[in-house]
């Protein structure tokens, strides 16, 4: 056995995870490497002082009722409280949030909403005047309302302890928020090129 | 601790063919400490780890029929736990976005009624795992799975997807680093007494 092989076996030796034969062979091989012997002594000194009983006790205490709780949760899920209404309400809220976020832009750019085409996307977002402040205020109010709505929904959902279904809905809400955050970020940096590109696309429509 | 192959295959057979509440309970009790410790290492929060543990077992019991035995039951549970913890971290991130810090207040409240010894044990465990957090992920996982769960290198290799040689190197490095970190703290027996003198 070379020095590197011996080093890799040090933890198993120190923590008593070797068979008698392995132990004897290891001890014989280590005789030629005093620095490894010293390292072993140092590790032994530290780890013999480490009392892991509190860790075992903590884990024991924390898992004492796990089987009962799992049983209860399984029974609940078997009873099958099919509440699709709240799943729909979360999705509806997510869609409403996106619409609220985009409303100021759509209002000013699409004729269907009575928007003025000359008041383009670029001017709405970049023009540093009263319009911008108004836009920001409307934008913030709509964000706050959306967050408040979604927050209420999430609180209700959490109270119902339907974690399995929540997972799916959280993923979809998270996806929507990620895209909204992404688009907000894009607006914040006033990327003229991107805005112009969007404007052209809207105009071409 | 590693579960014998015979015990594990009997358990799988019963879960898949003779399912009952008592078999499910035996399964949960067999692996609950392993799953909880793993979840705690991943999430660093007792309540979150508790939730993740329950979720792991519910998922495992619901999908036990799909367990083909390509890996050990413990490895299968390891993967489910890691996935559940990953989802839990994402959920927590999203919740913190909505809750504006109320959650932290609730957590502080939940420790109030614990007995003194339990509080001490919990504090020690928290501090020890904070030390472990300073190790690289692979080294920390290898150390915990070998030192606490007493798994073989082959089993750990299956879970972490690392060669046995790589695991031994990780274990050695983790042990050395942890020894240094432990010497710098007063988590070791007798350190407090020496400080008082």
Q: What is the ipTM of this complex?
A: 0.83
pLDDT of residue A45: 93
Beta carbons of A67 and B168 less than 8 Å apart: no
pLDDT value, residue B106: 52
The answer to whether A54 contacts chain B (CB < 8 Å) is yes
User: By the 8 A CB rule, do A76 and A96 touch?
Assistant: no
Please report, rounded to a whole number, the percentage of residues in chain A having pLDDT higher than 70.
67
Instruction: Name the range with the highest mean pLDDT among A4-8, A175-179, B118-122.
Output: A4-8
Residues 6+ apart with CB under 8 A from A35: none
Contact B21 A71 (CB under 8 A): yes
Q: How much is the pLDDT for B48?
A: 94
Nearest to A76 by CA among A12, A165, A137: A165
B19 CB within 8 Å of a chain A CB: no
pLDDT tens string, chain B, 197 residues long: the values are 566 778 888 889 999 998 899 999 999 999 999 999 999 999 999 999 999 999 999 999 999 999 988 899 999 999 999 999 999 999 888 877 776 555 555 555 455 567 788 888 899 999 999 999 999 999 999 999 999 999 999 999 999 999 999 999 999 999 999 999 999 987 887 765 554 44
DSSP 3-state of A115: coil
Q: Between A204 and B46, name the one with better pLDDT.
A: B46
A58 contacts chain B (CB < 8 A): yes
pLDDT of A106 higher than 90: no
Contact A49 B188 (CB under 8 A): yes
Contact A67 B51 (CB under 8 A): no
C-alpha B72, offset from chain centre: 17
pLDDT tens string A187-201: 555 566 777 777 787
Rounded CA-CA distance B32/A61 in Å is 11
Q: What is the pLDDT of residue A134?
A: 55
Handedness of CA B171, B176, B178, B179 (dihedral sign): positive
Structure confidence at residue B76 (pLDDT): 95
> How close, in Å, is residue B184 to chain A by CA atoms?
11
**Mean pLDDT over residues A1-16, rounded?**
93
Residue B196 has what pLDDT? Answer: 45
Q: Per residue in B79-100, pLDDT tens?
A: 999 999 999 999 888 877 776 5
At residue B4, the 3 state secondary structure works out as coil
pLDDT (tens digit per residue) in A20-73: 999 999 999 999 999 999 999 999 999 999 988 999 999 999 999 999 999 998
State residue B197's pLDDT score: 45
- Is some CB atom of chain B closer than 8 A to the CB atom of A1? no
- A11-15, A183-187, B52-56 — which is least confidently predicted? A183-187
Which alpha helices (DSSP H) does chain B contain, by range? Answer: 5-17, 21-43, 46-62, 73-99, 102-110, 116-133, 137-147, 153-160, 164-184, 191-196
Over its C-alpha atoms, chain A yields an Rg (Å, rounded) of 32
Question: Angle at the Cα of B178 (from B74 to A9), degrees rounded to 5?
Answer: 65
Predicted pLDDT at A126: 47
Q: In chain B, which residues have their Cβ closer than 8 Å to the Cβ of A59?
A: 33, 36-37, 40, 125
- Residue A173, chain B, CB below 8 Å: the answer is yes
Window 161-190 of B, Cβ < 8 Å to A = 165, 168-169, 171-172, 175-176, 179, 182-183, 187-190
**Structure token digits, residue A89:** 């309400």
Asked if the Cβ–Cβ distance from B171 to A8 is below 8 Å, we say yes
């Amino acid at each position: 056995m070379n020095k590197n092989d011996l080093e890799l076996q040090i933890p198993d030796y120190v923590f008593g995870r070797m068979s008698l034969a392995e132990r004897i062979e290891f001890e014989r091989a280590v005789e030629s490497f005093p620095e490894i012997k010293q390292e072993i002594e140092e590790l032994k000194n530290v780890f013999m002082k480490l009392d892991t009983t509190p860790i075992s006790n903590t884990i024991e205490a924390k898992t004492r009722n796990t089987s009962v709780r799992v049983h209860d949760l399984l029974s609940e899920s078997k009873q099958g409280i099919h509440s699709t209404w709240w799943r729909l309400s979360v999705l509806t809220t997510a869609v409403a949030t996106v619409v609220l976020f985009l409303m100021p832009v759509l209002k000013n750019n699409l004729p269907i909403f009575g928007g003025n085409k000359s008041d383009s996307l670029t001017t709405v977002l970049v023009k540093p005047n009263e319009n911008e402040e108004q836009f920001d205020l409307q934008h913030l109010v709509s964000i706050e309302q959306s967050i408040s709505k979604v927050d209420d929904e999430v609180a209700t959902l959490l109270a119902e302890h339907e974690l399995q279904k929540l997972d799916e809905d959280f993923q979809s809400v998270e996806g929507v928020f990620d895209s909204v955050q992404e688009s907000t970020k894009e607006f914040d940096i006033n990327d003229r090129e991107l805005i112009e590109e969007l404007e052209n696309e809207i105009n071409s429509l | 601790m590693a579960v014998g192959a015979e015990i594990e295959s009997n358990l799988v057979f019963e879960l898949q063919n003779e399912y009952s509440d008592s078999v499910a309970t035996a399964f949960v009790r067999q692996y609950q400490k392993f799953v909880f410790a793993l979840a705690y290492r991943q999430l660093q929060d007792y309540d979150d780890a508790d939730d993740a543990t329950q979720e792991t077992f519910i998922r495992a019991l619901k999908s036990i029929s799909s367990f083909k035995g390509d890996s050990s039951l413990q490895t299968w549970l390891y993967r489910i736990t890691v996935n559940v913890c990953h989802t839990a971290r994402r959920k927590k991130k999203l919740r913190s976005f909505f809750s504006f810090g109320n959650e932290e207040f609730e957590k502080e409240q939940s420790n109030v009624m614990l007995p003194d010894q339990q509080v001490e044990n919990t504090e020690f465990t928290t501090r020890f795992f904070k030390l472990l957090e300073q190790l690289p992920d692979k080294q920390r996982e290898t150390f915990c799975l070998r030192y606490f769960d007493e798994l073989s290198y082959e089993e750990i290799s299956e879970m972490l997807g690392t060669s046995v040689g790589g695991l031994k190197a990780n274990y050695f490095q983790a042990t050395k680093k942890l020894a240094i970190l432990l010497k710098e703290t007063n988590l070791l027996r007798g350190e407090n007494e020496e400080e008082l003198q």
